[in-house]
Amino acid sequence: MKHSIRAIGLAFVAVAIGVAVAAAEGRSDTLLIVVESGPNSLDIHGVGANRPAYGASWNLYDRLITYGVKSLPDGTRMYDYSVLKPELAESWELAPDGTSVTFKLRRDGRFHDGTPVTAKDVKWSFDRAVTVGGFPTFQMKAGSLEKSEQFEVVDDHTFRVKFLRKDKLTLPDLAVPVPAIINSTLARKQATPSDPWAMEWLKNNEAGGGGYKLVSWTPGQETVYERFDDWKSGPLPKIKRVIVREVPSAGNRRALLERGDSDISFDLPPKDFAELARSGKVTVIGHPIENMFYYLGMNAKNPPFNNVKARRAVASVLPYEAIFKTAVFGRGVLLWGNPIATNTFGYDSKLTPFKTDLARGRALMTEAGYPNGFETTLSFDQGFATVSEPIAVLVQESLAQIGIKTSINKVPGTNWRSMLLKKEMPLFINNFGGWLNYPEYLFFWNFHSQNAVFNTSSYQNPAMDRLIEAARFETDPAKYAEHVRGFVRLFVTDVPRVPLFQMNLDIATQKNVKGYQYWFHRQLDFRQLEKN
């Protein structure tokens, strides 16, 4: 009887979704997107904000500057990391001595409540980003944006950033999602002595001036956006209303798309994208994600994986090809343990440091002092189970061959980021995609000992820190290349985690949906989309 009730309930939900989606689809200015999971916060500065939260922030808030757009040979579009262009700032100028940059703000900039955007809002937002700690503060630091004293209000429409040092990443870092400009007048009204940055309020409310404003957000169910008709930071978006509905079942998401009841499905399993691409019924676009890899992480601080030989043993027995084919159906690039993805500066196609070698794995386990193996836990984000669960099963099977017995732990997506930050998981499957397309940026986030956020393996090596820092500020091309080779070689030796593959960012749309553009943050930009 329980199974019958469940089946009836699921059928009812599917019909309800279909009817609602079909009603929305009847309007050419409404876009219906179905996803596996949505944002856990509307505040990108919030603790544990997940990747869908980046997408919400990207559309609800503006930044001073953004990236250009370029067309690829296959006719698709992506952001151009070599070109910066205005958003809230209509222009900017570097000081003659190279110690600062001054931005002129748009005089017609408005927040969603009609409040004019001023340089005071920019300073409050930047001060917040470098103060709250965690991911946003480290992201700002990646571009040498570290102290409130660096940010100066010259007048209502002039804002200056003073440089701590010459850093090629400073301006590019201002175009990523974190330095979003918040309506400080509105946010401050919600602040309290114990919460001076209004973190609690902004988690569930928005105070932006981006191309879209929030209509409603029901966590775990649906987010509804409406075009901000007074937006001046770019061409007025073509789509008036965007509904992002969370449909946990991949089969239901695919069915809604194939029936024409939804416009876009953004995170289907790779198998579905491969089949949809072959069928030709909908448009499938895929880009290898820059500076990105799926990996098996090991806690390098605590036993047993604080033993480098145990980590090397794990890297020696993983079934790389089987993982790539089973988890993503070949939609990506196999990395063989290469920490730098194919379309990132510094990629070396000859670097394949790890191959499946069971005999070597067993020998390394004996050298590590674990001839009979050990027991451990293998964790992954349940929100990405379609890719991570097949990996977990294959990893579990392969490690058993060298005596490592693993129990698989499926962590709910809403808890995953906080679990990573605790850095207690001994063995885990995760992925990382660097926003700025430089290998030293990737390594800064993942392997620098001072990075408390995405150095999920708790890996510390002063030699690695020195090489990353040297590359970040090196201007001589030959020396820069040598620094990159140095930290890559050190990574291969220490193997704090094992890169598996670089996967595609795939999207499936109805054929009348146009304008999709790949972004480094792996989220949809509603502003460029339209329906014929």
Along the 532 residues of the chain, how does pLDDT read in single tens digits?
344 333 333 444 444 454 454 444 446 899 999 998 899 999 999 988 988 999 999 999 999 999 999 999 888 999 998 999 999 999 999 999 999 999 999 999 999 999 999 999 999 999 999 999 988 998 999 899 999 999 999 999 999 999 999 899 999 999 999 999 999 999 999 999 999 999 999 999 999 999 999 999 999 999 999 999 999 999 999 999 999 999 989 999 999 999 999 999 988 989 999 999 999 999 999 999 988 999 999 999 999 999 999 999 999 999 999 999 999 999 999 999 999 988 888 888 888 899 999 999 999 999 999 999 999 999 999 988 889 999 999 999 999 999 999 999 999 988 898 899 899 999 999 999 889 989 999 999 899 998 767 899 999 999 999 999 999 899 899 999 999 999 999 999 999 999 999 999 999 999 999 999 999 999 999 999 999 8
DSSP sequence for 378-396: EEEEGGGHHHHHHHHHHHH
Name the pTM for this structure: 0.83
What are the structural domains, with CATH classification, of the chain? 292-504 (3.10.105.10)
How far apart (Å, rounded) are the C-alpha atoms in residues 503 and 386? 13
Of 54, 46, 39, the closest CA to residue 195 belongs to 46
* CA-angle at 338, arms to 48 and 137, nearest 5°: 25
Instruction: Give first-to-last CA distance, the chain, whole Å.
Output: 47
Strand partners, 509: 264, 283
* CA-angle at 44, arms to 346 and 193, nearest 5°: 135
